[in-house]
Amino acid sequence: MSEKLNELKEILGEVRDLYHAASVLEWDQNVSMPPGGSEARGQQLSTLGKIAHEKSTSDKVGKLLDELKKEFTDKDSDEAALIRVTARNYEKSTRVPASFVAEQAIVTAKAFDVWVEAKGKSDFSIFQPHLERVVEMTQKYISFFPPADHPYDVLLDDYEPGMKTADVKEIFDHLRPQQVKLLKAIRSAKQVKDDFLFKKYNEKKVWDFGEKIITKFGYEWSRGRQDKAPHPFQTTFSVNDTRITNRFEPNNPLSTLFSAMHEAGHAMYEQGSNPAYERTPLAGGTSLAVHESQSRMWENLVGRSLPFWEHFFPEMKKTFPSQLDGISLKTFYKGINKVEPSLIRVNADEATYNLHVMLRLELEIGMIEGKFAIKDMPEIWNSKMQDYLGIVPPDDAHGVLQDVHWSNGLMGYFSTYALGNLVSAQLWEKINKDIKDLDDQIRMGKFDSLLNWLRGKIHIFGQKYDPQDLVQKVTGSKIDAAAYVRYLTKKYSDIYGL
């Protein structure tokens, strides 16, 4: 290996160490930090972010990249991929002053703690000034870049490289009417029973059952753990330390199971990244849409499937005999897949979930454009919920305050949730062609073949390939809605007799 490449890797390794150290602090902030620590935590994150930014945008890195581009010309090599991804990150990062990175860390650390308080009190006014500041910082961030076709393109590219706002709108414009058509058909059919899902379930038993499921999936506890947090998430400190968090909702107790599956899907992607990419920008998932395809696949295409519950339901009944007394496998399967417009995105059924995402995309674009005043967001949110889903939240906690992302400054993120659904279905069709007896394996509680397929086709490549190129390489087409529409139509036609 060239001396210059080793020199670049050493710098990149130090930068990754700093970012991972910041991730540890952010994980602690969500899991166990006392409320009084928020100001100091913001300063700590600010310092780490500033140092990492300065290291990654140094003139030395720029010079090494210029020289290495000429040395490594084989586009398929890991070395060329590392240089390409690093150069892209460098070009973007050098536009952003280190002082801005430091300030943003302080702003979002404060905003997160206030969001927790505001959500607990269901009072948006508490969070409003902090969201205003987050939006101001986001608009300032956009200003560092050349004018794009749409200002939102700058944000989207951070999470889904190469994707444009116009691309997402085109995909959503194609998907929305087909999902609405399916919803209308479901609404005209006989509704399924699901009251047994909302009885009182023992929290520890639900938590333990979820851990049993994800252990069978292949989540490696020697390289991970699960803790409680206000909002479920996955975080990575290294390929050998990928953690998940979860929560228990007394009013929707079994959501803990599906959150465990979802976050484990993210974590197993990270655990499967090529160890050779450790401490480089090639480590981890290639984009949030591809990342989300993994979590949504394990949560829904596996975890809400009939073969899955043919295996797990007998044990489920033994664990919760009174709650599931008289409930058949078929009734349970239909219940967990009931289609009904709901207030909370993370608990939404598959047929309505994407509509939640489309709503948030519209709101984020409106905030960035200055079309929507932040003070009016609860009212706008409720109005859009009525338009998209036909329901209105009773309070801010179930409406505009339900998600953590804006408090963390994560704007440009939401469309990737729906895009991930589409990719999951595209991959699923390919997987079922390659693993002919997949349903039978799931029925027996065996997930090795599925995980190994994902490891070999998706996980191992980390960020070597851009998301659209990876999806094309594996499925034969770029991100497209057709497979997801086929999946939803077949599944819900069977459940509702359409």
Please give the C-alpha separations between residue 36 and each of 46, 112, 128, 134, 197, in angstroms, as whole numbers.
Answer: 17, 13, 21, 21, 37
Distance of alpha carbon 165 from alpha carbon 155, whole angstroms: 9
Among the ranges given (116-120, 387-391, 417-421), the one the predictor scored with the smallest mean pLDDT = 387-391
pLDDT value at residue 292: 96
Out of 26, 160, 263, 299, pick the active-site residue: 263
Is residue 61 over pLDDT 90?
A: yes
Distance of alpha carbon 39 from alpha carbon 289, whole angstroms: 33
- Tell me the percentage of the chain whose pLDDT exceeds 70: 100
Q: Are 69 and 85 in contact (CB under 8 A)?
A: no
Is residue 230 over pLDDT 90?
A: no
Token match 């990876």: residue? 470
Distance of alpha carbon 328 from alpha carbon 345, whole angstroms: 28
Q: What is the mean pLDDT of residues 357-379?
A: 95
Q: Which two tokens stand for residue 354?
A: 């994407």
Distance of alpha carbon 486 from alpha carbon 186, whole angstroms: 15
pLDDT in tens, 168-179: 999 999 999 999
pLDDT value at residue 42: 87
Is residue 493 over pLDDT 80?
A: yes
Query: CB count, 10 Å around CB of 68?
Result: 20
pLDDT in tens, 310-330: 999 999 999 999 999 999 999
pLDDT in tens, 237-279: 999 999 999 999 999 999 999 999 999 999 999 999 999 999 9
Distance of alpha carbon 417 from alpha carbon 356, whole angstroms: 10
Is residue 420 over pLDDT 80?
A: yes
Sheet with 234-238, side-by-side order of all strands = 226-228, 241-246, 234-238
Q: Which two tokens stand for residue 422?
A: 């589409």
Give ∠ CA 207-235-124 in degrees, rounded to 5: 80
User: Is 103 an annotated catalytic residue?
Assistant: no
pLDDT value at residue 347: 82
The DSSP H or E segment spanning 243 is strand 241-246
Q: Are 83 and 65 in contact (CB under 8 A)?
A: yes
Distance of alpha carbon 190 from alpha carbon 169, whole angstroms: 33
Distance of alpha carbon 356 from alpha carbon 219, whole angstroms: 29
Distance of alpha carbon 135 from alpha carbon 107, whole angstroms: 11
Half-sphere exposure in the Cβ direction for 5 (13 Å, CA): 15
- Tell me the percentage of the chain whose pLDDT exceeds 90: 91
Distance of alpha carbon 279 from alpha carbon 420, whole angstroms: 26
Q: Are 246 and 256 in contact (CB under 8 A)?
A: yes
Distance of alpha carbon 336 from alpha carbon 316, whole angstroms: 13
**CATH architecture of the domain formed by 165-496:** Orthogonal Bundle (1.10)
Q: What is the mean pLDDT of residues 202-209?
A: 98
The DSSP H or E segment spanning 424 is helix 415-434
Q: What is the mean pLDDT of residues 16-31?
A: 96
Question: Concatenated DSSP letters for 39-94?
Answer: HHHHHHHHHHHHHHHHHHT-HHHHHHHHHHHHH---TTSHHHHHHHHHHHHHHHHT
Q: Where do the domains of the chain lie?
A: 3-130, 165-496
pLDDT value at residue 182: 93
The DSSP H or E segment spanning 114 is helix 98-121
Largest CA distance in the chain: 70
Read off φ and ψ for residue 493, nearest 5 degrees.
-65, -40
Q: What is the mean pLDDT of the chain?
A: 95
Helix or strand or coil: residue 32? coil
pLDDT value at residue 1: 59
When pLDDT is cut at 50, 70 and 90, the band that residue 75 belongs to is confident
Q: Strand pairing of 234-238 and 226-228?
A: unpaired
Q: Are 154 and 145 in contact (CB under 8 A)?
A: yes
Q: What is the mean pLDDT of residues 171-197?
A: 92
Kindly report the length of the chain. 498
pLDDT in tens, 94-152: 999 989 988 998 999 899 989 999 999 999 999 999 999 999 999 999 999 999 999 99
> Treating both helix axes as pointing N-terminal to C-terminal, what angle do 152-159 and 124-143 enclose, rounded to 10 degrees?
90
pLDDT value at residue 498: 86
Q: What is the mean pLDDT of residues 433-460?
A: 98
